[in-house]
Amino acid sequence: MFTGIVEEIGHVEAIDRHDTHARLTIACTTVPGDLAVGDSVAVDGCCLTATTVSPGGFTADLMAETLRATSLGDLAPDSPVNLERAMRADTRFGGHLVQGHVDAVGRVVGLEELPGTVFLAIETPAEVGRYLVPKGSVTVNGTSLTVVDHEDGVFRVGLIPHTLSVTTFGVRAVGDRVNLEADVVAKYVARLLVEPGASDNERISPYLDTDAAHDAARP
């Protein structure tokens, strides 16, 4: 489990590709501090298992599904990545509950720079968009962000200068693919509001159709 508070920006040292998998080597300095082989690390929001660890970085294996379902397959040597170790139970909990399980890949479709804020517009598939609400949480490339608005398959987030400086959003551009994870609490709520007799995929959105959701929740 993670918080979506990025600890440092790492850089891809190497990505060794094979037919159905790859091995990713990340250069970084903070994350290896207390990282052990077998520990989880969120790399651009994707939970990976450290297979080797050194003071200068770590390696992780990427299976075919990870390459297919995330943007990690787009990485190349020197690519910057957001990094976060698994959360601790004895510290402050910033951000929100993040599993590191990427729900879908979105695409940056707009950047608007205003004094003190950069607004990022991201095109998102319906499987994530259904869980987005203004002022709700979403994870983008491993970063916990607040949804400004969501309309016609595109949502916006606001990035303050600090976020731009400590994450890879400072170098994001229109057209970039990004990993998206919806708020796990929203997903569980939607799952509990399944219409009687409907399949798991025929869920009722509690914020789009409150009357239907109320009826579905009746015994």
Q: Is residue 148 part of a domain?
A: no
pLDDT value at residue 191 = 86
CA diameter of the chain = 57
Instruction: Residue 59: give its domain's CATH number.
Output: 2.40.30.20
Residues 4 and 52: their CA atoms lie apart, in Å, by 23
Residue where one domain finishes, among candidates 65, 85, 105? 85
What's the half-sphere exposure (Cβ side, CA atoms, 13 Å) at 85? 17
φ/ψ region of 184 (left if φ > 0, alpha if ψ in -120 to 50, else beta) reads: alpha
Q: What is the dihedral of CA 203, 207, 212, 217, to 10 degrees?
A: 70
Residues 167 and 150: their CA atoms lie apart, in Å, by 23
Q: What is the mean pLDDT of residues 13-28?
A: 95
Q: Is residue 76 part of a domain?
A: yes
Residue where one domain finishes, among candidates 85, 111, 127? 85
pLDDT value at residue 19 = 87
Q: What is the mean pLDDT of residues 174-197?
A: 87
Q: What is the mean pLDDT of residues 139-143?
A: 98
- Among the listed ranges 40-44, 64-68, 190-194, which one has the minimum average pLDDT value? 190-194
pLDDT value at residue 198 = 55
40 pLDDT tier (thresholds 50, 70, 90): very high
Between vectors from CA 19 to CA 15 and to CA 25, what angle results, nearest 5°?
15
Q: What is the mean pLDDT of residues 107-119?
A: 96
pLDDT value at residue 215 = 43
Host domain of residue 205: 186-216
Residues 166 and 95: their CA atoms lie apart, in Å, by 15
Q: Is residue 39 part of a domain?
A: yes
pLDDT value at residue 114 = 95
Q: Is residue 47 part of a domain?
A: yes
Average pLDDT taken over every residue of the chain: 90
Residues 97 and 87: their CA atoms lie apart, in Å, by 10
Residue where one domain finishes, among candidates 32, 61, 85? 85
Q: Is residue 211 part of a domain?
A: yes
**Residue 197 class from Cβ within 10 Å (0-12 exposed, 13-18 middle, 19+ buried)?**
exposed
| pLDDT exceeds 90 at position 61 | yes
| pLDDT exceeds 80 at position 194 | no
Please state, for a pLDDT cut of 90, what percent of the chain lies above it.
81
**Residue 97 class from Cβ within 10 Å (0-12 exposed, 13-18 middle, 19+ buried)?**
middle
Q: Is residue 139 part of a domain?
A: no
Q: Is residue 34 part of a domain?
A: yes
**H or E, element range at 210:** helix 210-216
Tally of structural domains, the chain: 2
Q: Is residue 202 part of a domain?
A: yes
